Amino acid sequence: METKKTQKRNTIIYWIFTLWMSLGMVSTAVVQLLRHKDEVANFTNLGYPLYLMTIIGIWKILGVIAVLIPKFPLLKEWAYAGFFFVMSGAIISHIIVNDSFSKILPAVLLFVLVIISWYFRPVDRKFSVNH
């Protein structure tokens, strides 16, 4: 059983990491949707088609909306799963093409933010089959 103090601490951790994650997802989505030259070079280096930037960019924005809006815990689980897969896929892709750690670091940071945000989410933002 969590104490009020622990719940408050966890809520603060959740919101700090969730807002940081959301900012990171939205900012990278915008760069992808605008097809910034550095991001185009990045996707090309990874061997991905450029239309994937649009798909991932839109899904990141929709995922952030799903995580931030109240209620809809199942939708939040799907959004976190999507973030988990896209960021772990980015990390693995960078490793496969032998990118430097500085190229991998942004994906690692977002991946860690996703995990921390998911772990510390409040009870009312968790999906439970006992609803």
Tokens 């089959």 belong to 129
Cα atoms found within 13 Å of the Cα of residue 114, Cβ hemisphere only: 24
Give the pLDDT confidence of 68-127 residue by residue, as tens digits. Answer: 999 999 999 999 999 999 999 999 999 999 999 999 999 999 999 999 999 999 888 888
For 36, phi and psi rounded to 5 degrees? Answer: -55, 140
* pLDDT, tens digit, 9 for 90 and up, residues 17-75: 999 999 999 999 999 999 999 999 999 999 999 999 999 999 999 999 999 999 999 99
State pTM to two decimals. Answer: 0.91
